[in-house]
Structure 1
Amino acid sequence: MAGKPYFQIYREGLKVGEQASLLNALGGHASPTHGQWRWRLVGGNGEPMAYGEAYTTKAAMLATLDIISGLGPTNYFEIDGR
């Protein structure tokens, strides 16, 4: 039986609790969003379902997750894919 979907939050390129620093960013593997906050929605089966953009602050990312999780039934609009 599958569990309930949940959000994972993380800082790009960093371990939990690790702080972004210039030395980390210059480690040769850094992306332009190194150290910024990201989220992903994981399904009850453990597979990722959706990803978010990079946020410079944790507060901004959490505010977005509050909006997403509070949407409830939503309108959908199909648009051109070009």
Structure 2
Amino acid sequence: MANPWDNDPIIEPAQTTQAPAKKAAPRKYSESAAQAALRQSDAVMNEGLKKLSAPQRKKALANYYASPTIQRLRENAGLPAV
């Protein structure tokens, strides 16, 4: 039994006038990206804190700064651990 795709025409890729794209060098985690991520995370946290009472706010902040993600962001941003 013959393969039904054997009779399909070969389609050549279209000719382009652009040079082939170069691969970008692997990006390193820049300090400014870490600072931007931390700033965005802090903004979201501050919005949530507005809705809490003082004791709840204190506990939420303690949990926020104890989070491994926030600790890693602070480290990458060059900030001291809290």
Normalised to the residue count of structure 1, the TM-score between the two structures is 0.27
Tell me which protein shows more helix as a share of its residues: 2
Tell me which protein shows more strand as a share of its residues: 1
Greater RCO, CA 8 A, separation 6+: 2
Normalised to the residue count of structure 2, the TM-score between the two structures is 0.27
